Amino acid sequence: MSVTGPMQPRPPKQEEKPVDEEKFNMSMRKFLKQVGVTSQQAIERIVREKGLAGQGTLKVRMVLTAEGTELEHVVEGEIDLG
């Protein structure tokens, strides 16, 4: 699995308010859980609809962006279809 994109957090600007770490982490976990569950459902659906089970591997690519930022985080990999 390969991952590309900037991985270092940017330093806070002086005019930014401090982050409520607990609230931020809970919100991020909720979003990532939604991404994981819905992505798995989408992959399972396409494997079923296209009859891909037992057909080797499925190459997948996920791109994460954040509106109003330069974020572009790419994860690529392969899923074994059994």
Determine how β-strand 57-65 pairs with β-strand 72-80: antiparallel
Q: What is the pTM of this model?
A: 0.74
Convert 56-70 to b/e letters by CB count within 10 Å (16 or more is b).
eeeeeeeeeeeeeee
- 16-47: per-residue pLDDT in tens? 788 899 999 999 999 999 999 999 999 999 99
Q: Is residue 55 domain-resident?
A: yes
Q: Is residue 26 domain-resident?
A: yes
For 22, the token pair is: 């607990």
Provide the residue range defining the domain that includes 57.
21-80
Instruction: Specify the number of domains making up the chain.
Output: 1
Residue 72: the pLDDT is 98
When comparing pLDDT for 15 and 66, which is higher?
Answer: 66
Residue 10: count of CB within 10 angstroms of its CB: 8
Q: Is residue 3 domain-resident?
A: no
Q: Is residue 35 domain-resident?
A: yes
